[in-house]
Amino acid sequence: MNATAPDLSPDGKWIAFHTAHHTKRQVQLAPYEGSEIPHSSWIAVTDNQALDREPRWSADGNLIYFLSDRDGFRCIWARKLHPRTKQPVEAIFPVLHLHNPRVSLLHVPSTGHVSLCAVGDRLIFAMGELTGNLWSTELRPH
């Protein structure tokens, strides 16, 4: 099982990452002590039923943001965590729906390039935008 996209918690005691299972991705957490972490210590944040990936910690370490295609679009979702145990305490909820085909996270070629980053009360990320123009002119005979 591949564990990718690691992110260390603000206090340095926990690590968030996602795992790949066939066509699904699952967000996981584990206590971090600088050595190998046994699978038995992992905490599932998502249910392995969608493409949930690229987890990032909130500034206070009590929330995990992640990208997910769970509603048919690539959107930003989150889950609250117990402050001490980091066990999920509430249901997953949408942070930002991005269902507009012109402005979408799907226009960023790799989910890793979206680079979610929580800074204070802000969430910073890259997003792609498609635009197009039609031009017309009158043809004048020579």
Q: What is the pLDDT along the chain (142 residues), one digit of tens a residue?
A: 678 889 999 999 999 999 988 888 999 999 998 888 899 999 999 998 899 999 999 999 999 999 999 999 989 999 999 999 999 999 999 999 988 877 777 777 777 777 788 888 888 887 777 777 777 788 888 7
> What pLDDT score does 1 carry?
65
How many beta carbons lie within 10 A of that of residue 8, not counting itself?
A: 12
Burial class (CB in 10 A: 0-12, 13-18, 19+), 29: buried
> What pLDDT score does 117 carry?
84
Query: What are the structural domains of the chain?
Result: 3-129 (2.120.10.30)
Write down the residue that tokens 């048919």 correspond to: 72
d(CA 142, CA 139): 9
> What pLDDT score does 105 carry?
73
d(CA 103, CA 77): 17
> What pLDDT score does 101 carry?
78
